[in-house]
Every structure is written in structure tokens, then in C-alpha cells.
Structure 1
Amino acid sequence: MKRTFALILSVFLWASTLQAQEAQYMVFEFINVKNDQLFDYIEYKDLMEKVYRQALNDGRITGWDFWSLQSGGHDSEFQHIMVTYYDDPVNMMNGMEEDKLIEYTRIAYPHLTEVQIASMFQDALNMRDMPMRLYMKEIVCTNDDFVMKPGVLASFDLMKAVEGRFDDYEKAEMNVFRPIHQNRIEQGLMGHWSFLRTALPLGSEAKSTHLTMNMYKDYMQFFNGQAYEDMNQDEAQRNAVNEGLNSRDQKWVYLATLENVVR
């Protein structure tokens, strides 16, 4: 009996540890680059892919994406989104210090001199502006085998829960909208969906409280997904969807193409 109890306890602890390890924390950096320096910055982010791969190999991050935006809240407000993935909230808040990035650059590009590395970073800092950075935790996602690779599409939907309805909104995303997206994935109309809660910035003046990521393998799947309408919903399901929509304000939708990925 004691051995059985010990076995059950060990399985429970293992499952709890596994669940904790699967939690994802992400930093979204919305980047504005001066128009006359876009090509220079594209070259820079290609270099940075190798640098972040060194960070992945070192266990500092669990992934890194670089997205090119097709649309946004205002013309030319942002051109790119950089997403860095962590498995721990402390690591997320500590981020990637400049001295650590320089160290990884030395490893990735051993032929560059110290002067060249310092100049590359300074040039990158001078050419970009980062007016918005979001620290987020993934709350729930769909079950799928979607592969992140250059060329896939995503819409980043910034949401703000209606005041006093924070819990209502989260329950709607998890219990109402997630099954809808899961059904779309099973029909081949979407690749992946995830729902994230903002850790920072906080407060009533924050632009958003949540974010959803809707991913598609190509434009054909994206447009087919937009045209999809579930005609099999009953009245109760339609009411649940409307209640969910009324519990949040959709601030902005950013359509983006994945250019660089580290996994």
C-alpha cells in the first residue's frame, strides 16, 4: 500500500513539474525602424538569429521569433515584432542583457573583432525605436503540431478586458473561443492559437490586458479561415460568443509574416 501511494505521489509530482516546465513566458517588442534604414536592420536581424541561437543553446531562452508586419494601428507605427520565449518569469523579467548578447555574438561570429561587435550593436540601437514592450504569460493554447518556420502568418490581436469583467473575458477565451479555434485547426483552417495575459505594463492606462496569437501556414489558409462561419452553433453557443465579445475591447490587430525563428 505504501509503495502504491509513493508511486502515485511520484507520478503526481512529475506531472506537476512537467506542467510547470511547459508554461511559456514571452516578451513582445514592437519595433519602429527609420525608413531609410530598413534594409540595414534586416541585415542586422539576420545576424541576431545566430546570436539568439547561442542563447538557446545556453539555456537562457526557449525560442526567438522575428516578424515583419503587414498592418498595424497606424501607418508605419511598427514594422517588426520580436518575440523572445522563456520558461521562467524571472528569466523573462531579467531579459537578455547587452553584455550577454555581446558574449553570444563573440561565439556566433568569432571572426569579428571587439570593435566590429560594439559598432554593430550601436548601429542597431541608433536605427530602431521600441515604443512598446509587453511581458506576457501564455494561459492556454490549442492542441496541434504546428511548425514554426519562415513564411508562416500570424495575427497578433491586442485585447483589453472591460473594466470589472477581467475573469469573464478570460473564461470566455478558454471555454468558448478556444474550442472554436480547435475546431478550425481540425478542419485545416488554422495552424495554432494561443491566449496570453499581460504581466507588464499594468494599470488602467495600459493599452492592453491580453493578446491572442492566430497562426496560419500560408495566405490560402488565412483567407479560408477568415471566411469560415460555424453554422452548427446553437442559440446558447451564439449567446456565449456574444457575451465573450462584449467582455473585451479589441484594440489593434497586427498581421505579420515570420522571417526568422530559433527553436
Structure 2
Amino acid sequence: MKKQLTVLFITLFTCFNLYGQEQQYVVLEFIKVEPDRVLDYLEYKDFLANVHKVSKEEGHINGWDLWSLQSGSDLEGENFQYVTVTYYSDPVKMMNGNDMEQLVADAIKAFPNMSAAEARQKIRDALDMRDLAVRNYMVQVASTADNFEFQPGILASFDLMKAVEGKFQDYERAEQEVFLPHHQRKINADLMESWRFLRTALPTGSEAKSTHMTMNVYSDYLQFFNSMEFEDMEITEEQQQEVEAGLNSRDQKWVYLATLETVVR
């Protein structure tokens, strides 16, 4: 076990040093809440948002989002209602993101009249309110050139992919060299707001359910549906062949359409 942890952190730090301080690490948590507890959970998410605001001010995180899922194929047959996205500047902060004592300290700063015991219980109650079925640790590999500011009400599709065995590098190259310029042209045509490409940050075996994810961001449903009709007139026949090769290098496992409910920046 010790050897496995050593390999894990060597992998994370190698990636961190390769890309530098601006590299972004992301934790996605797909959440299921029982129907009779949704209203209670929504009250706790406001509490957590205030705690995360302090966490950002203290430099523990770069940001936090809560998205409500509108549609998608369910992992493991689960019916998810929400996904949270927490952003970090380095892998160590990412791995320490669920440290209870740090969360309690941030909660006390967010709510000065709350004791440590009360803060700890409130956090436990908030976490117990939902069933965390899936947690993905990821690192951002590429993104479009945009300055879009996330605001409640925007849309995003979370597309989880699995690179075909033996075509891992081919798939990443296709996303960065073929699909990224395509999405940049969409942004320039006001048919998309932002696009990000992420890979799993932790070592995975051949049985991993997904290895990568793209996050496609839209201002509203009108832009989303217009984007679906977009025909890239600039693409050449050679580039079209590269697109097809890229599609064949990965298996699109799940797609979730979500609306941003709460954002901390």
C-alpha cells in the first residue's frame, strides 16, 4: 500500500511540475439525494457554499460549483440529481480537500457564532444528507481561449470518455489538435462559451469506467441548441478524417446536461 501511495504522488507531482503553477486540478462528485430529502439538502448546500467561500479566501481551493443534472445516462444505474465541481491549484490541495478539521476551521470563520462542535456536526449532517456515488479526481489538459465568467443559470454538458486501449495518446492529441480548434471556432461564432478537456489525475487500470472528460459550457438553451446545428465550414477533408480518427480513439461513456445552481469564485 505504501508503495502504491508513493507511485501515486510521484505521478501527481510529475504532472504538476510539467505544467506549472497554472495547472488546474478538479474534483467532480456525482450526488444522489433521496426525493424526500431534496429540500433539506438545498438548505445545507447554502451552508457549504459559505464554507467554500472562506476556503477560497484562505487559498485552499480555487472555486466550487454546484450543478443540477437535467439529463444523462446514469453511472451504475444511479439516478444523480447534482454534481459538485471543486477547483484546486495543485494535487496536494486536491487530495486534502475533504480534510474535516480544515472544513471545520473554515466553517467557524464563515459563521463566527458557531462553535467547533456545532460546525463539525453541521458539516457531517450536510455530507450525510446525500449519497456520494462517484468521485473523480481530474487534471485539466487543455481549454479554449475565453474569459467567460460562470454565473448561476448557465448550462454545461459533462461528457465522460474512455480512451480506447492502446490509443490513449492518439485520443489526447485529437482533443487538443482537432476538437479544441473546432470548439474555439464555436466560441468565436457565439455558439459556445467555454470548453475544457480533463484527464483522470489518479492512475487507472484497464477496467476504469472513464479516463477523460470534456466540459462544454453554454450561456443558455438557445445557444446550446444552436451549437448543435453548427457546421464547421472551415474544416478540410483531411481534418474531417482526423476527426473521425479521434472519435474512434475513445468511447463516449456518459453525457450529462447540467444547470449551474451555485458558484464560488
Give CA-to-partner distance per residue, 1:114-150, whole Å, 9 cap, x none: 4543332232233211111111110110001111111
8 Å CA contact 2:197, 2:215 repeated in 1 = yes
Partner of 2:182: 180
8 Å CA contact 2:160, 2:254 repeated in 1 = yes
Amino acid at match of 2:218: Y
Q: Does 1:211 align with 2:213?
A: yes
What is the rounded CA distance, in whole Å, between the counterparts of 2:129 and 2:108 in structure 1? 22
Runs of 4+ in 1 over 4 A off after TM superposition: none
User: How many residues are treated as equivalent by the alignment?
Assistant: 246
TM-score if structure 1 supplies the norm length? Answer: 0.89
Higher mean Cα deviation, 105-114 or 192-201? 105-114
How large is the RMSD of aligned CA atoms in angstroms? 1.6
Partner of 1:61: 61
Which ranges in structure 2 are unaligned for 5 or more consecutive residues? Answer: 1-16
The Cα shift of 1:200 comes to 2.7
8 Å CA contact 1:134, 1:201 repeated in 2 = no
Question: CA 1:233–1:219 in structure 2 vs 1: closer, same or farther (change >3 Å)?
Answer: same
What is the rounded CA distance, in whole Å, between the counterparts of 2:131 and 2:90 in structure 1? 27
Partner of 1:129: 131
Question: Equivalent of 2:141, from 139, 142, 147?
Answer: 139
What is the rounded CA distance, in whole Å, between the counterparts of 2:40 and 2:213 in structure 1? 30
Identity %: 55
8 Å CA contact 1:135, 1:201 repeated in 2 = no
Amino acid at match of 2:82: H
TM-score if structure 2 supplies the norm length? Answer: 0.88
Q: Does 1:157 align with 2:156?
A: no
Q: For 1:30, what is the secondary structure of its paired residue?
A: strand
State the structure with more CA Rg. 1
Give CA-to-partner distance per residue, 1:147-171, whole Å, 9 cap, x none: 1111111100000000000000000
Question: Equivalent of 2:92, from 90, 93, 101?
Answer: 90
Which ranges in structure 1 are unaligned for 5 or more consecutive residues? Answer: 1-16
Partner of 1:109: 111
What is the rounded CA distance, in whole Å, between the counterparts of 2:120 and 2:22 in structure 1? 36
Q: For 1:200, what is the secondary structure of its paired residue?
A: coil
Amino acid at match of 1:66: L
Q: For 2:37, what is the secondary structure of its paired residue?
A: helix
What is the rounded CA distance, in whole Å, between the counterparts of 1:145 and 1:122 in structure 2? 36
The Cα shift of 1:47 comes to 1.2
